[in-house]
């Protein structure tokens, strides 16, 4: 995506957030205006992963659904729900709230649950997109009914009890997405893909054997990297991480690279890496390791590029928010000054808006005549008639504020000399 298109999307998103108002919101997926707070409690039990997967598959097929990404994505988004509590004590309340929401509000909430992790790990969020791309589609009634059926089924069987604890060790006790994808996918489809998820008991045994081999000679060092070329949803790494925790080590201090051919299973591995908190050096790549020998290196390079892109977008978001906030503050300041001017008490000689003074109205003049009179006199009126003696010559008159005008005043008629030829006047003198 180019920088211009990214900036345009960021600006549009910021405008939608900052201009959101209660009275003009018509979005049917808005939880604030279309959601409900009438949330009756539901019966919740912490069922095994196999039971939860079968319940999800049965609810989805009973609603007429045929796609695999929608029901698996519902469970993945619920597993990623950001609100965690010690011992998952808030899981029942959250489950009741989620189960009571309308279908479109529920879909948007699931999308926002997944989008929350983009700022933390954009590479894992991108790898998990096959499970969440359907949230940006215009779903039909059958698919909405399927979402509305799958979410309560997963909640009743304890998806939040399995993944809602603040302790990552408690969240890593089970690989829910492995059970869900296996239950949804027909055995013929699994056979064609060669997809057989390792049972949890076998993966735990393999992890224990590998740990014993590495720890026998003191070769178990922190900071090591582990590579799984056929990771599935990451069940083997889950067992290895739990084994490290039991020995007092933090899995985040090691590196984990999971490669998988199936995009849906690779997306499940990315979600599990976030749920299990495998750390900042856990990466997921999707591709054929037999055809792409440098798939692991490409995965690491893409992760670095996505982190830089995330940083650039966050800077754009910060700039856009600051710009919009500044505009709103200026508008609020202008509006407050205008309201203050309007609320100023009206005194003599002041306009209604508290502006420039106006001349007092003279008695006997209409408002229009008073205004015209005031406009004609920007300075105090001055009258000066300089009267000259009665003789022929110029007289100076001062007219208000205009420049002096020279005029000739004629003498009275009786004092005019008689007209005659020039030579006679000269001879008379």
Question: Which is it for strands 393-399 and 225-228: parallel, antiparallel or unpaired?
Answer: unpaired
Q: What pLDDT is stored for residue 5 in this prediction?
A: 62
Contact 198, 264 (CB under 8 A): no
Closest Cα to residue 407, out of 427, 424, 386, 422?
A: 386
List pLDDT tens digits, range 95-116: 999 999 999 999 999 999 999 9
Name the token pair of 387. 């009267």
- The domain locations on the chain are 28-321
Q: What pLDDT is stored for residue 384 in this prediction?
A: 44
Q: What Cα–Cα distance (Å) separates residue 113 from each residue in 60, 80, 132, 169, 192?
A: 21, 6, 10, 21, 33
CA distance 256 to 252: 9
Contact 277, 168 (CB under 8 A): yes
Q: What Cα–Cα distance (Å) separates residue 175 from each residue in 63, 171, 401?
A: 25, 9, 96
Closest Cα to residue 108, out of 37, 35, 25, 29?
A: 29
Contact 49, 179 (CB under 8 A): yes
Q: What Cα–Cα distance (Å) separates residue 106 from each residue in 68, 93, 211, 315?
A: 18, 16, 43, 30
Q: What pLDDT is stored for residue 191 in this prediction?
A: 52
Q: What pLDDT is stored for residue 400 in this prediction?
A: 47
Q: What is the mean pLDDT of each run of 10 residues along the chain (429 residues)?
A: 60 60 64 77 91 94 92 96 91 92 92 91 95 93 94 95 94 92 72 63 79 59 84 92 90 94 94 95 94 93 93 82 71 68 56 50 62 58 46 47 49 52 49
Q: What pLDDT is stored for residue 283 in this prediction?
A: 97
CA distance 45 to 155: 9
Q: What pLDDT is stored for residue 209 in this prediction?
A: 78
Q: What pLDDT is stored for residue 383 in this prediction?
A: 44
Q: What pLDDT is stored for residue 241 in this prediction?
A: 93
Q: What pLDDT is stored for residue 426 in this prediction?
A: 46
């Amino acid at each position: 995506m180019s920088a211009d298109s990214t900036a345009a999307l960021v600006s549009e998103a910021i405008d939608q957030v900052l201009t959101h108002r209660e009275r003009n919101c018509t979005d049917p997926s808005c939880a604030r205006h279309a959601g409900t707070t009438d949330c009756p409690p539901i019966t919740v039990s912490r069922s095994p992963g196999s039971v939860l997967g079968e319940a999800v598959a049965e609810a989805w097929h009973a609603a007429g659904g045929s796609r695999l990404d929608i029901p698996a994505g519902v469970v993945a988004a619920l597993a990623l729900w950001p609100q965690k509590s010690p011992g998952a004590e808030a899981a029942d309340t959250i489950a009741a709230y989620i189960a009571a929401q309308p279908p479109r509000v529920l879909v948007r909430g699931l999308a926002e649950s997944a989008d929350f992790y983009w700022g933390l790990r954009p590479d894992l969020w991108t790898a998990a997109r096959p499970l969440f791309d359907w949230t940006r589609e215009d779903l039909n009634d059958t698919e909405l009914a399927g979402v509305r059926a799958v979410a309560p089924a997963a909640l009743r069987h304890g998806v939040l009890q399995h993944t809602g604890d603040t302790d990552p060790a408690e969240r890593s006790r089970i690989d829910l997405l492995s059970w869900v994808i296996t239950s949804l996918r027909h055995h013929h489809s699994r056979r064609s893909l060669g997809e057989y998820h390792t049972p949890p008991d076998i993966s735990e045994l393999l992890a224990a054997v590998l740990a014993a081999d590495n720890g026998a000679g003191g070769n178990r060092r922190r900071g090591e990297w582990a590579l799984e070329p056929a990771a599935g949803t990451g069940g083997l790494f889950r067992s290895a991480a739990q084994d490290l925790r039991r020995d007092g080590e933090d899995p985040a201090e090691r590196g984990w690279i999971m490669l998988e051919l199936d995009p849906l299973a690779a997306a499940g591995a990315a979600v599990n890496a976030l749920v299990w908190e495998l750390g900042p050096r856990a990466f997921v790549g999707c591709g054929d390791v037999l055809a792409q020998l440098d798939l692991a290196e490409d995965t690491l390079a893409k992760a670095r590029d996505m982190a830089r892109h995330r940083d650039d977008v966050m800077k754009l978001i910060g700039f856009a928010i600051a710009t919009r906030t500044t505009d709103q503050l200026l508008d609020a300041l202008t509006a407050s000054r205008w309201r203050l001017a309007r609320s100023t008490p009206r005194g003599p000689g002041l306009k209604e808006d508290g502006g420039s003074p106006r001349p007092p109205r003279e008695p006997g003049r209409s408002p229009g005549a008073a205004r015209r009179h005031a406009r004609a006199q920007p300075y105090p009126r001055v009258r000066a008639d300089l009267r000259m003696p009665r003789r022929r010559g110029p007289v100076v008159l001062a007219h208000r504020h205009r420049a002096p005008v020279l005029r000739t005043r004629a003498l009275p008629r009786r004092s005019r000399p008689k007209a005659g030829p020039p030579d006679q006047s000269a001879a008379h003198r």
